[in-house]
């Protein structure tokens, strides 16, 4: 046995909780960079690239009083034609390796630079070989890190783990990378008898050892990656519920609650089965249906999507929906590297909105996205996955990434979008595996038949958002011409855009393809009086809009449209119309008329206005021809429209 000791600086900074946080215009500002990023070297060592782990058995004896753990990890795997010089596991130098058994024989090893290096067999086997290595170790995981935590709650001892992204190596030796999932795992934990241990998969054994200790044996038979392995322990109050699958089968839902928090958790926890049903309907059946789902309270804010048993530092519906959503997006399908963390966090954020839609309706879904916008710089693709702050950037990896999923739904339409999500989750080569952005893009294109390369390049590898300006005019031939400009400086966006055309008698909808800095669209003959053209009325695109012909945007979720009519020279009583959406309700408004110098020349009090189209008569007989401004004042919002009065 050889153990080398080196001075190593190894720093990982963890985000506080897992929650929820100029150049000339060109087609895509990061086209060249994207190809460079896609070829970024793996965080694995060359030797680790050559091994595949198929099974772990983690057996730990936890000494709470001395804050120490001791035990063993049995790792089975295989190597192929290209064979490593060492079989290497990630393992913190702060922990101590007692011995290594390779195929039952005591084996030499090197523990240096947070790597456990085990010499491979000297005889080269051309076709490769399988291996079984058992590592015996002990130590006190550093209190500076949160991967394995000795804690208390309400005066009782409490153990919990949180290993994402690179924390598993701090408390057990493993190939600590999301690209390599073990096919199955056993987790055997020995604790004081007053503790209740919760972990992944199914509890297959609970043994009183007779010496004041108890042993729990959990069995995970679905593929799992290292950062999703969890151990929590506390004198929990254990209760549960039942989920009935789409096929009529039942699955246990188990809650491990702090006894003093059951009363504040149970109402939302009892919604868990409804959330599973809502997601199963849209994404396909819950992916670990033969085991369980549940929650275990732990000592962090936010939550962590440990496979089959999320660790919860809160009890809100959004948090429950987020961590549950991860069981599909993060656990069933896991980002192959933390470059692609948006496939986990953006999708889980999207699940929060799906629950809003399912539970509270379409308006709640739309309001959710209005409150989760991000317009700042940076790519959703994580350029530096060694930076935990970049990985868990709340604006990019969560909010904007969630908007990308929302925008895909807008591009595809509901039927194709949800068919794509189900196909992605059930894909034979991807399910229970590690995935990249390109894997997801390929499924989207295969199901929809669309070329989505520009979409993914601009939204995942590019930065920011489109800034549109819109104007319209009606030609002498009564043809409506709409002009859309992209005014941003960073990149051009290629997007389908919905336009809503409001006329005196009807509302017309049309979709146009937009990709150039300036594009004109001839939308045909408009035979009715035209009030307005609205770009992306249902907010499918993360954007800003400036209306050059009509300014009608209210900050926030409510929208009011002002339609000043042109006076009829034969009828001095003309009308000023405005549209108030249903959700605004009754409002009290004032309409003011200003001349070109900004002087108030008339004022009309509209009284109480009901939702829908409202008309106010304006007597323009005493006013000279010229340019005027009509301003509608609604509470703190002001809508001003320039008109030309001709007599």
Structure confidence at residue 604 as a pLDDT band (50, 70, 90): confident
Lowest-confidence pick of 17-21, 302-306, 628-632: 17-21
Per residue in 177-230, pLDDT (tens digit) is: 999 999 999 999 999 999 999 999 999 999 999 999 999 999 999 999 999 999
* Cβ proximity of 62 and 189 under 8 Å: yes
Q: What band does 15 get if pLDDT is binned at 50, 70 and 90?
A: very low
- Strand-pairing partners, residue 276, are none
Over residues 34-50, mean pLDDT: 65
Question: For residue 93, is pLDDT > 90?
Answer: yes
pLDDT beyond 60 at 611: no
To the nearest 10 degrees (0 to 180), the angle between helices 342-360 and 362-370 is 140
| Lookup: tokens for 326 | 């991860």
Length of the chain counted residue by residue:
647
Distances (CA, A) of 8 to 45, 113, 389, 544: 17, 6, 22, 49
- Of all residues in the chain, the percent with pLDDT exceeding 90 is 72
Query: Residue 145: which pLDDT band, with cuts at 50, 70 and 90?
Result: low
More confident residue, 551 or 99: 99
| 559: confidence class by pLDDT, cuts 50, 70, 90 | very low
- For the record, the structure tokens of 486 come out as 């992209």
Q: How confident is the model at residue 332 (pLDDT cuts 50, 70, 90)?
A: very high
Q: Above 80 in pLDDT, residue 13?
A: no
Which pLDDT score, from 0 to 100, does residue 532 have?
Answer: 79
pLDDT > 70: percent of the chain: 79
Query: What is the predicted pLDDT for the residue at 601?
Result: 79
pLDDT-derived band of residue 616, with 50, 70 and 90 as boundaries? low
pLDDT of 584 strictly over 60: no
Q: What contacts 100, CB < 8 A, 6 or more positions away? A: 1, 106, 107, 108, 109, 118, 133, 134, 135, 136
Rg (CA), the chain: 30
Average pLDDT over all residues of the chain: 86
Q: Is the peptide bond prior to 165 cis by the omega test (within 30 degrees of 0)? A: yes
Q: Which helix (H) or strand (E) holds 135?
A: strand 129-139
Residue 350 host element (H or E): helix 342-360
Number of Cβ within a 10 Å radius of residue 615: 13
CA 455 from chain centre, in angstroms, equals 17
Confidence at 574, pLDDT banded by 50, 70, 90: low
Residue 503 pLDDT: 75
**pTM of the shown model:** 0.81
* Residue range 570-589: mean pLDDT, rounded: 52
Statement: residue 579 has pLDDT above 70: no
Q: Is the pLDDT of residue 465 over 50?
A: yes
Question: Quick check: 572 pLDDT over 90?
Answer: no
Is the model more confident about 303 or about 6? 303
Angstrom distance (rounded) from CA 115 to CA 118: 10
Among the listed residues 16, 298, 302, the one whose alpha carbon sits nearest the alpha carbon of residue 158:
298
Q: Are residues 276 and 266 in contact, defined by beta-carbon separation less than 8 angstroms?
A: no
In the predicted model, what is the mean pLDDT of residues 582-609?
A: 63
Range 73-99 average pLDDT: 96
Give the residue-averaged pLDDT of 565-570. Answer: 43
- CA dist 628 and 186 (Å) reads 77
**Mean pLDDT value of segment 630-647:** 60
Phi-psi region of 399 (alpha: psi -120 to 50; beta: other; left: phi over 0): alpha
For residue 28, pLDDT beyond 80: no
pLDDT of 609 reads 54
Let me know: does 84 contact 50? Beta carbons within 8 Å: yes
Give the side-chain half-sphere CA count within 13 A for 630.
27
The pLDDT score that the predictor gives to residue 550 is 45
Give the whole-angstrom CA distance, residue 413 versus residue 405. Answer: 12
pLDDT classification of 617: cutoffs 50, 70, 90: low
């Amino acid at each position: 046995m050889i153990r080398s000791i080196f001075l190593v600086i190894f720093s990982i900074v963890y985000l506080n909780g897992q929650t929820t946080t100029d150049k000339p215009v060109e087609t895509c500002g990061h086209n060249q960079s994207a190809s460079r990023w896609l070829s970024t070297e793996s965080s694995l060592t060359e030797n680790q690239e050559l091994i595949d782990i198929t099974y772990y058995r983690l057996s730990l004896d936890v000494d709470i009083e001395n804050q120490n753990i001791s035990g063993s990890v049995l790792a089975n795997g295989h190597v192929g034609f290209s064979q490593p010089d060492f079989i290497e596991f990630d393992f913190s130098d702060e922990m101590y390796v007692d011995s290594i058994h390779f195929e039952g024989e005591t084996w030499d090893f090197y523990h240096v630079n947070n790597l456990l290096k085990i010499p491979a067999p000297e005889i080269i086997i051309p076709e490769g070989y399988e291996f079984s290595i058992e590592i015996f170790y002990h130590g006190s995981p550093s209190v500076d890190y949160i991967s394995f935590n000795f804690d208390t709650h309400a005066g009782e001892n409490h153990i919990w783990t949180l290993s994402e992204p690179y924390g598993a190596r701090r408390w057990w030796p493993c190939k600590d990378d999301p690209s390599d999932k073990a096919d199955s795992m056993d987790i055997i934990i020995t604790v004081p008898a007053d503790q209740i241990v919760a972990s992944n998969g199914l509890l297959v054994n609970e043994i009183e050892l007779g010496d004041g200790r108890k042993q729990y044996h959990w069995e995970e038979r679905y593929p799992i990656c290292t950062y999703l392995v969890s151990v929590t322990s506390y004198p929990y109050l254990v209760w549960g519920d039942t989920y009935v699958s789409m096929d009529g089968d039942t699955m246990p839902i188990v809650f491990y609650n702090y006894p003093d928090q059951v009363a504040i958790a149970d109402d939302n926890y009892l919604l868990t089965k409804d959330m599973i049903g809502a997601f199963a309907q849209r994404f396909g059946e819950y992916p670990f249906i033969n085991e369980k789902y549940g929650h275990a309270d732990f000592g962090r804010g936010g939550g962590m999507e440990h496979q089959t048993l999320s660790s919860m530092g809160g009890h809100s519906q959004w948090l429950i929906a987020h961590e549950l959503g991860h069981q599909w997006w993060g656990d069933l399908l896991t980002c192959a590297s933390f470059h692609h963390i948006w496939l986990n966090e953006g999708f889980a954020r999207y699940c929060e909105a799906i629950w809003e839609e399912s539970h509270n309706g379409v308006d709640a879904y739309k309001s959710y996205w209005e409150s989760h916008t991000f317009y700042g710089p940076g790519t959703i693709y994580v350029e530096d996955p060694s930076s935990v702050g970049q990985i868990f950037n709340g604006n990019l990896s969560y909010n904007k990434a969630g908007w990308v999923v929302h925008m895909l739904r807008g591009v595809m339409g509901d039927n194709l979008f949800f068919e794509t999500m189900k196909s992605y989750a059930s894909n034979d080569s991807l399910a229970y595996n590690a995935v990249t952005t390109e894997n997801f893009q390929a499924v989207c294109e295969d199901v929809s038949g669309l070329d989505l390369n520009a979409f993914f390049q601009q939204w995942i590898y590019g930065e920011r958002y489109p800034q549109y300006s819109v104007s319209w005019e009606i030609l002498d031939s009564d043809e409506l011409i709409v002009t859309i400009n992209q005014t941003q400086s960073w990149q051009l966006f290629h997007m389908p855009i919905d336009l809503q055309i409001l006329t005196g008698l009807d509302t017309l909808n049309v979709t146009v393809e937009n990709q150039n800095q300036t594009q004109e669209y001839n939308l045909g003959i408009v035979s009715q009086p035209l009030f307005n053209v609205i770009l992306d009325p249902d907010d499918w695109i993360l954007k800003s809009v400036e209306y050059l012909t009509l300014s009608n945007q209210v900050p926030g979720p409510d929208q009011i449209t002002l339609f000043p009519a042109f006076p009829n020279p034969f009828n001095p009583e003309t009308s000023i119309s405005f549209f108030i959406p249903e959700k605004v309700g009754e409002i009290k408004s004032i309409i003011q008329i200003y001349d070109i110098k900004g002087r108030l020349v008339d004022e009309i009090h509209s009284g109480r206005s009901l939702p829908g189209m409202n008309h106010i008569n304006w007597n323009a007989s005493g006013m000279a021809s010229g340019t005027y401004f009509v301003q509608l004042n609604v509470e703190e919002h002001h809508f001003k429209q320039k008109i030309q009065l001709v007599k």
